Amino acid sequence: MAPPKNPPARGRALTRSFFDRSVHTVAPDLIGATFLVDGVGGVIVEVEAYHHTEPAAHSYGGRTPRNAVMFGPAGYVYVYRSYGIHWCVNFVCEQAGSASAVLIRAIEPRYGLAAMRRRRGLAADVALCSGPGKLCEALAITDKLNGAALDRAPIRLLAREQEPDIVCGVRIGITKAAELPWRYGLKGSRFLSKPFRD
DNA sequence: AGAGAGATGATCT
DNA sequence: GATCATCTCTCTA
Residue A10 lies in a domain: no
**Which residues 122-141 in chain A have a CB closer than 7 A to strand B?**
none
Answer yes or no: is A81 CB < 7 A from strand B.
yes
Q: Tell me the per-residue pLDDT of A68-80, one tens digit each, with 9 for 90 and over.
A: 999 999 999 999 9
In a domain, A5, yes or no: no
What's the CA–C1' distance between A64 and B11, in Å?
10
Query: How far is CA A111 from each of CA A86, A103, A108, rounded to the nearest angstrom?
Result: 22, 21, 9
Task: Answer yes or no: is A94 within a domain.
Answer: yes
Give the per-residue pLDDT at A181: 94
Per-residue pLDDT, A5:
57
* Cross-strand bridge partners of residue A169: A183
User: Range of A119's domain?
Assistant: 16-186
With CA atoms as reference, report the closest residue to A52 among A28, A78, A86: A78
Nucleotide nearest to A58 (CA to C1'): C5
Within a domain: A86: yes
Domain-embedded: residue A9: no
Does the residue A164 lie in any domain? Answer: yes
| Residue A163 belongs to a domain | yes
**Strand C bases, protein C-beta under 7 A:** 3-8
State yes or no: pLDDT of A3 exceeds 70. Answer: no
Q: Is residue A55 part of a domain?
A: yes
Number of structural domains found in chain A: 1
- Other CB atoms within a 10 A radius of the CB of residue A69 amount to 20
CA–CA dist A110, A55 (Å, integer): 35
A10 C-beta less than 7 Å away from strand B? no
The DSSP 8-state label assigned to residue A71 in this structure reads G
Asked whether residue A65's C-beta has any atom of DNA/RNA strand B within 7 A, the reply is yes
In CATH, what number is assigned to the domain containing residue A95? Answer: 3.10.300.10
pLDDT of A119 reads 96
